[in-house]
């Protein structure tokens, strides 16, 4: 999906959830918006609302 196809939205969440998102951002460097997108996509896939996306598999590099 191209960035121009994304729509901005706002919603309210509990303070402990937001705190957890901030902790993951600090620890792993994943932006909060990306964390939310991933979680929502997984939840919708699990409930059969959207199809699972073909995930690109990362290939490991050969060590010399």
pLDDT tens per residue across span 3-30: 678 999 999 999 999 999 999 999 999 9
Is 63's pLDDT higher than 80?
A: no
Is 1's pLDDT higher than 70?
A: no
% the chain with pLDDT above 90: 70
What phi and psi, each to the nearest 5 degrees, are found at residue 20?
-65, -40
pTM of the model: 0.72
Structure tokens at 46: 């699990």
Is 41's pLDDT higher than 90?
A: yes
Is 55's pLDDT higher than 90?
A: no
């Amino acid at each position: 999906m191209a960035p121009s196809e994304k729509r901005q939205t706002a919603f309210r969440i509990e303070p402990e959830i937001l705190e957890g998102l901030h902790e993951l951002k600090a620890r792993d460097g994943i932006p909060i918006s990306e964390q939310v997108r991933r979680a929502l996509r997984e939840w919708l896939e699990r409930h059969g609302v959207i199809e699972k996306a073909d995930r690109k598999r990362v290939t490991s590099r050969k060590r010399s």
